[in-house]
Every structure is written in C-alpha cells, then in structure tokens.
Amino acid sequence: MKNILGANDDLAALNRKMFADSGVVVMNLMGSPGSGKTTLLEQTLTRLADKIRIAVIEGDLFTAKDAERIERAGVDVIQINTAGGCHLDAAMIQKACASLDLAAIDLLIVENVGNLVCPAEFDLGETFKAVVLSITEGDDKPLKYPLIFKESAVTLLNKIDLLPFTNFDVKSARNDLTTLHPSIKIFETSCTLGTGLDAWCAWLLERAAV
C-alpha cells in the first residue's frame, strides 16, 4: 500500500508541474455517491462557462452517465472508467490529460468516483480538493470520515433545501469541520433552489483566476 501511494505521489508531482506549466488550476471534486457532485457541476458550468475556459474529467466505475450530463453543458469532458476501482489516481489523470489541450483552459474540474474514503488518499496533482456533503448524509460524517475533510480546501453542505426534513445540525457540522480543518471554507448550497451557488461560483472563479 505504501508503495502504491508512493508511486502515485511521484506521478502526481509530474501532473502538478504539467498543470503549473500550462497555467491550469485543477479542482478534485469528491463526495459520497449521491451527494450531488454532478448536479453541482452542471450548475457551476452554467454560471462560469462564459467567464473562464473550463474542461472536466469525469471518473466513474463503469458508465458514462455523468459525462453525458456534463457534455450537454457544452464543455469538453473526458471520461475515465475505473472498471470498478474505488478512486481516481494520478496515472489516470495523466492519461486523460493527453486528450486535452491544457493551454486552452483555465480550470480543470475532476469529478472523482463517489466515495468518501479512498479518493482522499490519492493525490492527483490537483491545485486543491473540494468535498460535497449532502445534509441527508447526517452531521456526524466529518468526524467519521475525517481525512477527506482535512484534505479539502472547501466543503459544500449540499441539498440544504432538505434541512427541514432531516435532523442535520448545521452548527454542529460546521464546528466539527473547523475543528478538523480550521481554514476550511464552507458553503451551504442547494441546486434545486439555487441557494449559495453564486457565492460558491464567485469563490471558485477567484481561485481559478490565480
């Protein structure tokens, strides 16, 4: 396992240099199955596609369902199928980037496999990680799955429109998140109502413009 992670780190360093050389900011977007990553991505592209040049890499176990959704947003998308594998790794990203003109984009968004555990362990060479937590998953998740929240620059508390129908405690979740990771940025978002999406996109745009 240490050897696998070590080899991955070496490749991730190469990816990171490649992205820096091309002036591309890369976001590794993670979260549980059904946390709402793809819908959030669709909404993000709608808001940012005329402001910066974006491409997407979609990680999935077998299907191209998510990539087809992103393609409809009119953005270049590369599909990676992991054939059952539970995370993306740096080698997959390196290979996918061979099909992208990195010089022609500002922001590359990588949607990882739906999984709150393994993706956090594999550096892809990204500029920063982001994690989507649907509030229907429960407010105990940051402490139960700490690594992914420690590693991520930003957490989106998503599906916030469902708050009245759950026992999710936003204050408790925010406390746990900032205990794990004091500088973490937190957005409360709903893709159904549009809540928080402008603030999230403004933050992302600022990061991508660096």
Binding residues for a copy of itself, rule: CB under 8 A, are 32-34, 60-63, 65, 84, 86, 113-118, 121, 134, 136-138, 140-141, 143-147, 159, 161-162, 165
- Smallest gap from Cβ 80 to a copy of itself, in A, equals 14
- Smallest gap from Cβ 19 to a copy of itself, in A, equals 27
Distance between CA atoms of 86 and 88, rounded to whole angstroms? 7
Which residue, 112 or 127, has its beta carbon nearer to a copy of itself? 112
Which residue, 85 or 102, has its beta carbon nearer to a copy of itself? 85
- Smallest gap from Cβ 195 to a copy of itself, in A, equals 14
Structure tokens at 77: 């998308």
- Smallest gap from Cβ 182 to a copy of itself, in A, equals 19
CB 159 within 8 A of CB 138: no
CA 141 to each of CA 128, 135, 176: distance values in angstroms, whole numbers, following the listed order? 21, 10, 9
Structure tokens at 202: 């403004």
| Cβ partners under 8 Å of residue 146, min gap 6 | 180
